[in-house]
Structure 1
Amino acid sequence: MGMVQIVQPRQVALSDQARLQVRRTLPNRQRSFVGAWCFVDHYGPDPVREPSDGMDVPPHPHTGLQTVSWLFEGALEHHDSGGAHAVVRAGEINLMTSGHGIAHSEQTTAETTVLHGVQLWIALPERFRDTARAFQHHAPERRRIPGGEALVFIGELPGVDRSPIQTHTPLLGAELRLTAGSRNELEVDAGFEHALLVDQGAVSL
């Protein structure tokens, strides 16, 4: 078995204007990447009583990466300079490819009362850094696994599900919802680096 490393997140403000605080696990002094995953912000569950309580990220640029929005509760509205406009809700993925350059914004929707989710970034390989900008949205089906259920939003979890979302590096991204006291053994690619982000509860690995 390979080395298991525990990385503690640090608390940061999402922006100067917003009250939203996020727990940033990557990048970290201990580790900058897990495979091509290069950024992990984990937020909520936070009550949204007024617009300044939620997410209000004004248009800003990205190059050379893909951004992933994945929610556990609430909804976010996405606009980008490639012409994409979409709402992502709990259990859905928005994936934006910046390629040679894109600007986007994200705001909590008016009906959201609790905001809870993660923002993930994927570093594009050098040969794809100048690829065309693009946008994808997908709502994976819940799949039963021993002791709970899984939603596979990127890549393939063998024997469970495969996502149609396109990335430029082989990756796996999945949400696991396990009942208390359950035990699960997952078949994963031993050639990958893997990370487990604990949202709620305690986990033994």
Structure 2
Amino acid sequence: MSNLELDPVEVDCTAGPSERIEILTPRDVPLGGPRAMRVRRTLPQRQRSMVGAWCFADHYGPEDIRSRPGMDVAPHPHTGLATVSWLFSGEIEHRDSAGVHAMVHPGELNLMTAGAGICHSEVSTSATSILHGVQLWFALPADTRHGDRGFDHYVPEPTAAGDATLRVFLGSLAGSASPVRTPTPLLGAQIDLAAGGSVGLDIDPAFEHAVLLDTGGLTVAGTAVAPHELAYQGVGKTSLTLNNPGAGRARAVLLGGPPFTEELLMWWNFVGRTHEEIVEYREQWEAGAQRFGTVRGYRGARERIPAPPLPATRLKPRQPPTRKVP
């Protein structure tokens, strides 16, 4: 998914791991024009720009698209990151310049690695009535960010833990592990928790974690979380406790990873390290450079998404967090 903001926020956030549960509230972002579907963005923001290597989180739906526009994101570029598409309902058609043509379905991981550069399109299909899911990005470290394009697909089996059902799509949790390899350690899992239920999860104390609540109600380590909010827990903890005080099922996405210790500069759909890199990426995209390649088979309203203008001031990289272990 593209960041379609015409004036993308420059993220210069130095927040590091916290000793308490932080609640991050989302902001609404239109996915295109004035009638387009809107998404709720919890990462990045000035309070906290990353959780491990996770640097972007959009949460959308449930959106009834039978009588209104759904998702139609024309070809757009990425550098230095990987995208994770995870659906709760609906179907999305993915095409990219590595030649991959894939359908995204609920409960199936689709991971696209940009490496040095890629472009892709995403379109909800005619088979979709309700579109609902999350789009996530994670930053690539220095030794892989100039590497090749790639694509991984994986369907995790549901596993039980306490009163919860887990679908671990990246990393490992509660005895379930994903075979998909990532260049830095990561955790990604859907958690469904029964009404009135609870689950205590053993976690890696070197990881920071965040719980993005989709539906229902949760407390995370005793802190109440409302739907669409993201609850952050810093490093040094060996367990994560979730409780569902409500009368209905709760669903959430758990993200985690060790604090990302490299300087990072993220602007629009590019992840780099310096102002000069971002300027170069933008110029190459506007010039149709081979760095990004070409998406074939997309039949949307416009051929590609142009890059927005750069800000008048120099872009500054995000500084690595200062690690704190409570």
TM-score category (smaller protein) = over 0.9
1:67-99: CA deviation from partner (whole Å, max 9, x where unpaired): 000000111110000011100101011100000
Q: Distance in 2 between matches of 1:99 and 1:197?
A: 26
1:119 aligns with 2:138: no
Structure 1 residue 148 displacement after superposition: 2.5
Q: Distance in 1 between matches of 2:90 and 2:187?
A: 24
The 5 A counterparts of 1:44-83 are 44-50=61-67, 53-83=69-99
Q: What is the root-mean-square deviation of aligned Cα atoms in Å?
A: 1.3
User: Is the 2:80–2:115 contact (alpha carbons within 8 Å) kept by the matching residues of 1?
Assistant: yes
Aligned twin of 1:200: 215
Aligned twin of 2:33: 16
Q: Distance in 1 between matches of 2:32 and 2:205?
A: 37
Aligned twin of 2:201: 186
* Matched residue SS, 2:210: coil
2:206 partner letter: G
User: Is the 2:74–2:122 contact (alpha carbons within 8 Å) kept by the matching residues of 1?
Assistant: yes
User: Is the 1:18–1:54 contact (alpha carbons within 8 Å) kept by the matching residues of 2?
Assistant: no
Aligned twin of 1:88: 104
1:119 partner letter: Q
2:194 partner letter: T
User: Is the 1:47–1:53 contact (alpha carbons within 8 Å) kept by the matching residues of 2?
Assistant: no
Q: Distance in 1 between matches of 2:122 and 2:56?
A: 17
Q: Distance in 1 between matches of 2:35 and 2:181?
A: 31
Bigger RCO (CA 8 Å, 6+ sep): 2
2:58 partner letter: D
1:112-141: CA deviation from partner (whole Å, max 9, x where unpaired): 000000000000011211011000111111
Q: Which residue among 167, 170, 174 is the counterpart of 2:185?
A: 170
1:156 aligns with 2:195: no
2:26 partner letter: P
1:105 partner letter: S
Question: Considering only CA atoms, is the larger Rg found in Structure 1 or Structure 2?
Answer: 2
User: Is the 2:164–2:198 contact (alpha carbons within 8 Å) kept by the matching residues of 1?
Assistant: no
Aligned twin of 1:3: 20
Q: Distance in 2 between matches of 1:74 and 1:18?
A: 20
Q: Distance in 2 between matches of 1:110 and 1:132?
A: 32
1:168-202: CA deviation from partner (whole Å, max 9, x where unpaired): 11000000001111010001111101000000111
- Residue identity over aligned pairs, in percent, reads 54
User: Is the 2:161–2:174 contact (alpha carbons within 8 Å) kept by the matching residues of 1?
Assistant: no
Aligned twin of 1:100: 116
Task: Give the TM-score normalised by the residue count of structure 1.
Answer: 0.96
Between 11-20 and 41-50, the greater mean CA deviation after superposition: 11-20
Structure 1 residue 48 displacement after superposition: 1.2
User: Is the 1:74–1:90 contact (alpha carbons within 8 Å) kept by the matching residues of 2?
Assistant: yes
Q: Distance in 1 between matches of 2:40 and 2:51?
A: 17
1:131-178: CA deviation from partner (whole Å, max 9, x where unpaired): 11000111111112211311000111132x101112111000000001
Task: Give the TM-score normalised by the residue count of structure 2.
Answer: 0.61
User: Is the 1:23–1:41 contact (alpha carbons within 8 Å) kept by the matching residues of 2?
Assistant: yes
1:89 partner letter: H
* Matched residue SS, 2:143: helix
Q: Distance in 2 between matches of 1:17 and 1:106?
A: 19
Q: Which residue among 25, 28, 31 is the counterpart of 2:45?
A: 28
